Structure 1
């Protein structure tokens, strides 16, 4: 990685951490809070691409693992990786990779603005929502909580409207960065 890649990776890690300062909202159906950090994960994948976006999320997860209070609600430590939201946390890395991979394939500077926003939105929905929710649901269903697949799937539906809104925000922001910062290194 070049120095520029390291700086961008650290910057997006900081963005994900900063989005954790927004207080989480508890949902009664599942023991997982609604928070803004998944928006940062989508942004990292869409803007930085698969490799650097995943690196930013992995750095964020490393900071959480060593005990820094970087997660929503000021949580951190190894215990969060066995708690009910652990599947969603681990899913962040896969979500950033898939969103970045798809955005690299679907979006380029020669497309119209609408096509770019649509491509970014599709990448954010598939990576940032479908992949992350799949990991979270599987952990809730078969992990220590043992909710079962049906309850875990129904419980995660409460997150979908907010996540679609986050995907739209991420798509608009990624389009603005693509249009406004042509010197930003190619997403890779």
Structure 2
């Protein structure tokens, strides 16, 4: 990576950590602005944007308070939202990959949002007892907001690119 790309990756890691602090705590999985920056990282940095989420994850694992609610440490990844956080890496990569392939940018952002669920729901299922409960608690209440954040990421990415 070029130094400028690494700087941008670090910036998106920091923005994701800051966005995690703006949350609405509902049920087990809080609503936050994290995914806006997850998607922007992929849209602006391409596949290399996944490095920003690896940096973000590392910052949280070592105890920096970058996860939702100002939490840090490996314990967060072992909790109900751990799968979603891991999914950030793959969502960023997916958004970047699809956009680099000249796919529809908004659709790419929406698809990448759903990649987070692919990782988050099975993990959440371990805590809520069934995939149905995981869907009802960890996906259904968030779909409209995630599509709105995908649209926001699309608008931001379109302006920056």
Same fold (TM over 0.5): yes
Quote the Cα distance in structure 1 between the aligned partners of 2:41 and 2:7: 13
Q: Which residue of 1 aligns with 2:94?
A: 98
The one of 135, 138, 142 equivalent to 1:159 is: 142
Q: Which residue of 2 aligns with 1:19?
A: 19
TM-score normalised to the size of structure 1?
0.81
The one of 35, 40, 43 equivalent to 1:38 is: 35
Q: Is the 8 A contact 2:17 2:56 kept in 1?
A: yes
Q: Which residue of 1 aligns with 2:111?
A: 126
Q: Structure 1 pair 146/158, CA: closer, same or farther in 2 (3 Å)?
A: closer
Per-residue Cα deviation, 1:20-46 (whole angstroms, up to 9, x for no partner):
231x21223xx1111111111011011
Quote the Cα distance in structure 1 between the aligned partners of 2:91 and 2:33: 15
Per-residue Cα deviation, 1:102-160 (whole angstroms, up to 9, x for no partner):
111125xxxxxxxxxxx221111111x2110121111111x3x1421111112211011
Larger Rg computed on CA atoms: 1
Q: What is the total number of aligned residue pairs between the two structures?
A: 160
The one of 49, 56, 64 equivalent to 2:46 is: 49
Quote the Cα distance in structure 2 between the aligned partners of 1:96 and 1:27: 24
Q: Is the 8 A contact 2:21 2:32 kept in 1?
A: no
Quote the Cα distance in structure 1 between the aligned partners of 2:25 and 2:141: 11
Q: Is the 8 A contact 2:16 2:34 kept in 1?
A: yes
Quote the Cα distance in structure 2 between the aligned partners of 1:37 and 1:68: 16
SS in 2 for 1:76: coil
Q: Larger helix proportion, structure 1 or 2?
A: 2
